[in-house]
Chain A
Amino acid sequence: MGKDVLTGTYFLTGNEACAAGALAAGCRFFAGYPITPSSEIAERMSIRLPQVGGVYIQMEDEIASMAAILGASWAGAKSMTATSGPGISLMLENIGLGVMTETPCVVVNVMRGGPSTGLPTLVGQADVMQARWGSHGDYEIIALSPSSPQEAFDYTIRAFNLAETWRVPVILLMDEVVGHMRERVVIPEKKDIKVANRRGPSEPPGKFKIFKSKKDLIPEMPVAGQGYAVHVTGLTHDERGYPAIEWEAQEKLVSRLVQKIRLNSDKIAAWEETGVEGAEIVLVSYGISTRICRAVREMAREKGLNLGLLRLEVIWPFPEKRVRELAGRIKAFLTVEINYGQIALEVERCAAGKCITRLVGHGGGTVHDPKKVFEAVEEIAS
Chain B
Amino acid sequence: MIEPQTLDHPKDLLLRKERIPHIWCPGCGLGSVLSALMDALGSSGLDLKKVAVVSGIGCTGRAAGYLNLDGFHTTHGRAIPYATGLKLANPDLTVIVFSGDGDLAAIGGNHLIHAARRNVDIKVICVNNFNYGMTGGQGGPTTPRLARTTTTGYGNPERPFNLIHLIAACGAPYVARWTSAHPHYMKIAMGEMLKKDGFSFLEVIAPCPTNFGRRNKMREIKLLQRFLEQAVLESQPDIAKADIELDSPILCGKFVDLERPSYLTALREVISAKVKVYDFRGDGRVPLEEAPVKPAAAKAPGKPAEVPAERPIIQRPVQIKLAGLGGQGIGLCGLIMGRAAAIFDHNQAVYTQEYSPEARGGASASSIIIASDKIHAPYVTEPDIMVVMAQGAYNKYQKDVRPGSRLIIDKDLVRPKDLPDSVQVQAIPATRLAEEIGQKVVANIVILGFFTALVPHISLTAMQKALKGSIPKGTEELNLRAFETGYDYGKKMQEEEAV
Stretch at the interface among A166-174, A286-294, A337-345, A352-360: A286-294
Taking a contact as CB atoms under 8 Å apart, the answer to whether A31 and B73 are in contact is no
B486 to chain A, nearest CB (A): 22
Taking a contact as CB atoms under 8 Å apart, the answer to whether A183 and B349 are in contact is yes
Taking a contact as CB atoms under 8 Å apart, the answer to whether A53 and B338 are in contact is no
B124 to chain A, nearest CB (A): 14
Taking a contact as CB atoms under 8 Å apart, the answer to whether A55 and B302 are in contact is no
Given contacts A94-B75, A180-B355, contact A8 B302 (CB under 8 A): yes
CB of B161 within 8 A of chain A? Answer: no
Report A42-79 CB contacts with B as 1/0, cut-off 8 Å: 00000001111111010111011101111111111111
Taking a contact as CB atoms under 8 Å apart, the answer to whether B290 and A63 are in contact is no
Q: Which of B250-280 contact A (CB under 8 A)?
A: 263, 267, 271, 275, 277, 279-280
With CB as the reference atom, state the residue of chain A lying closest to B353: A180
CB of B19 within 8 A of chain A? Answer: yes
Q: In the complex, which residues of chain A have a beta carbon less than 8 angstroms from the beta carbon of B281? A: 28, 53-55
CB of B308 within 8 A of chain A? Answer: no
Of B282, B301, B357, the residue contacting A7 (CB under 8 A) is: B301
Q: In the complex, which residues of chain B have a beta carbon less than 8 angstroms from the beta carbon of A186? A: 302, 304
Taking a contact as CB atoms under 8 Å apart, the answer to whether A232 and B73 are in contact is yes
B80 to chain A, nearest CB (A): 8
Q: In the complex, which residues of chain B have a beta carbon less than 8 angstroms from the beta carbon of A376? A: none
CB of B409 within 8 A of chain A? Answer: no
Stretch at the interface among B27-35, B83-91, B193-201: B83-91
CB of B461 within 8 A of chain A? Answer: no
Taking a contact as CB atoms under 8 Å apart, the answer to whether B377 and A291 are in contact is yes
Q: In the complex, which residues of chain A have a beta carbon less than 8 angstroms from the beta carbon of B87? A: 71, 75
Given contacts A60-B111, A71-B84, contact A230 B71 (CB under 8 A): yes
Q: In the complex, which residues of chain B have a beta carbon less than 8 angstroms from the beta carbon of A54? A: 280-282, 284, 286
A46 to chain B, nearest CB (A): 10
Taking a contact as CB atoms under 8 Å apart, the answer to whether A242 and B19 are in contact is yes
**Complex CA–CA separation, A327 to B349 (angstroms):** 36
CB of A280 within 8 A of chain B? Answer: no
**Complex CA–CA separation, A93 to B335 (angstroms):** 40
CB of B49 within 8 A of chain A? Answer: yes
**Complex CA–CA separation, A183 to B350 (angstroms):** 5
Of B49, B78, B284, B290, the residue contacting A28 (CB under 8 A) is: B284
Report B8-32 CB contacts with A as 1/0, cut-off 8 Å: 0000000010110000000000000
Of A11, A60, A97, the residue contacting B75 (CB under 8 A) is: A97
Taking a contact as CB atoms under 8 Å apart, the answer to whether B49 and A75 are in contact is no
Taking a contact as CB atoms under 8 Å apart, the answer to whether A8 and B288 are in contact is no
Taking a contact as CB atoms under 8 Å apart, the answer to whether B352 and A177 are in contact is yes
CB of B397 within 8 A of chain A? Answer: no
Given contacts A9-B343, A67-B78, contact A225 B90 (CB under 8 A): yes
A21 to chain B, nearest CB (A): 15
**Complex CA–CA separation, A349 to B285 (angstroms):** 47
Taking a contact as CB atoms under 8 Å apart, the answer to whether A67 and B75 are in contact is yes
Taking a contact as CB atoms under 8 Å apart, the answer to whether A67 and B89 are in contact is no
Taking a contact as CB atoms under 8 Å apart, the answer to whether A76 and B78 are in contact is no
Taking a contact as CB atoms under 8 Å apart, the answer to whether A70 and B16 are in contact is no
A67 to chain B, nearest CB (A): 4
Given contacts A55-B267, A63-B81, A367-B378, contact A28 B282 (CB under 8 A): yes
CB of A182 within 8 A of chain B? Answer: yes
CB of B74 within 8 A of chain A? Answer: yes
**Complex CA–CA separation, A224 to B88 (angstroms):** 12
Taking a contact as CB atoms under 8 Å apart, the answer to whether A50 and B277 are in contact is yes
**Complex CA–CA separation, A234 to B290 (angstroms):** 41
**Complex CA–CA separation, A53 to B339 (angstroms):** 30
CB of A201 within 8 A of chain B? Answer: no
Stretch at the interface among B62-70, B384-392, B447-455, B473-481: B62-70
Taking a contact as CB atoms under 8 Å apart, the answer to whether B110 and A227 are in contact is no
Q: In the complex, which residues of chain A have a beta carbon less than 8 angstroms from the beta carbon of B240? A: none
**Complex CA–CA separation, A48 to B26 (angstroms):** 53
Q: Which of A78-99 contact B (CB under 8 A)?
A: 78-79, 93-94, 97
Stretch at the interface among A187-195, A247-255, A258-266: A187-195
Among all A-B residue pairs, the 6 with the closest Cβ atoms: A71-B85, A53-B286, A29-B282, A2-B291, A75-B89, A68-B85
5 A-B pairs within 8 Å (CB atoms) are namely A31-B81, A68-B84, A71-B87, A233-B72, A288-B378
Q: B residues engaging A (CB < 8 A)?
A: 16, 18-19, 49-50, 52, 54, 64-65, 68-75, 78, 80-90, 92-93, 110-111, 114, 263, 267, 271, 275, 277, 279-286, 288, 290-291, 293, 297, 301-305, 335, 338-339, 342-343, 348-353, 355-357, 374, 376-379, 381
Q: A residues engaging B (CB < 8 A)?
A: 1-3, 7-11, 26, 28-29, 31, 49-55, 57, 59-61, 63-65, 67-79, 93-94, 97, 120-121, 177, 180-184, 186-189, 192, 223-235, 242-243, 288, 291-292, 294-295, 298, 366-367, 369-370
Known: A59-B114, A77-B85, A229-B16. 19 other contacts (CB 8 A): A9-B304, A9-B305, A50-B271, A51-B277, A52-B277, A53-B279, A53-B286, A54-B286, A71-B89, A74-B86, A79-B85, A79-B89, A186-B302, A223-B90, A224-B70, A225-B70, A234-B75, A242-B18, A294-B376
